[in-house]
Amino acid sequence: MCDTCGCQSEDEATYKKPGDTNHDHTHSHPLRHVLDVNRDLLHDNDLMAERNRGFFEARKIMAINLVSSPGSGKTTLLEKTISALHKDIRFFVIAGDQNTLNDATRIEKTGTEVIQINTGTGCHLDAEMVHMAIRKLDPPRNTLLVIENVGNLVCPALFDLGETKRIVMISVTEGEDKPVKYPHMFKSSDVCIVNKTDLLPHLDFDLAQLRGNIKKVNHQMKVFELSALKGEGLQQWLKWLTAQKTP
């Protein structure tokens, strides 16, 4: 068998007339040949994300990928959301952090099944990690899975996890220009939650400017302004989430 073109491999039929030589074509393989590969660098992740998405669709699970910078209030929003809706919606949570079980411990106190993924030095969750986690968690039909990503507005933007909706969170202590500073995350998200609005009276923060910056980057973004801790504005978010979950 020719190592280069693979002709006459052992498991293939060959067709010859009497007098034919071993090879029915010459072996003048070019010295240099260029192969068009066109393989996406995120190909494996995207395939796994589609597999996760298929799993969620088959079980009618709404999966949310919750992303933000560290400290914007993802876990607090989750705690408040779960306590408000747990009678109507069954929640499951995957919490991602570089280290510690702190977030999982907080979520578990709400009575919700949770798995913590510690990425070690990793700066984002990927579709494979989520796949492993959902195999362990095994959320049943008609439930809501929240994937609380590693606090980071850069890397997680590139990694599709198979989620139904990507929700980016920002707190008013972070500056009005965050959407334009980290456009990839804001462009790839469906919903933006502006948190800690109870602190507005104490800050020099221009909410209208933030709204403008969000729309500049993503004109389709749905925006909720709320204080997860104090509860103001929370009702609109809960109403929207419930409507999304109910077909």
Partner 1 sequence: MHEYTLAQNIMKIITEYSSTHNGYQATEVVIEIGELSGVMIDALKAAVDVLVKNSEFACTEFIYSEKKAKAQCTQCGHEVAVSDFISTCSQCHSSRLDIIEGKELCVKSIAFE
Binding range to partner 1, per CB under 8 A, among 18-26, 62-70, 93-101, 122-130 = 122-130
Applying CB under 8 A, which of residues 111, 154, 203, 230 lies at the interface with partner 1?
154
217 binds partner 1 (CB under 8 A): yes
Applying CB under 8 A, which of residues 47, 101, 180, 203 lies at the interface with partner 1?
180
Chain position carrying tokens 């066109």: 38
Which tokens in the block code for residue 138?
A: 């095994």
136 binds partner 1 (CB under 8 A): no
Applying CB under 8 A, which of residues 10, 219, 243, 247 lies at the interface with partner 1?
219
> Rounded to whole angstroms, how far apart are CA atoms 198 and 194?
11
Measured from the CB atom, the residue of 155 and 199 that comes closer to partner 1 is: 155
Q: Which CA distances in Å does 91 have to 82, 143, 201, 242?
A: 7, 6, 34, 12
157 binds partner 1 (CB under 8 A): yes
Task: Please report how close the Cβ of residue 177 comes to partner 1 at its closest, in angstroms.
Answer: 11
Binding range to partner 1, per CB under 8 A, among 56-64, 82-90, 155-163, 238-246 = 155-163
CB 63 within 8 A of CB 93: no
Number of residues that bind partner 1 (CB under 8 A): 34
CB hemisphere CA count around 202 (13 angstroms): 6
Measured from the CB atom, the residue of 155 and 229 that comes closer to partner 1 is: 155
Which tokens in the block code for residue 1?
A: 């068998």
41 binds partner 1 (CB under 8 A): yes
87 three-state secondary structure: coil
> Rounded to whole angstroms, how far apart are CA atoms 86 and 213?
34
Nearest residue to 127 (alpha-carbon basis) of 41, 47, 39, 40: 47
Residues that bind partner 1 (CB under 8 A): 3-4, 31-44, 123-124, 126, 154-155, 157-159, 180, 183-184, 186-187, 215-219
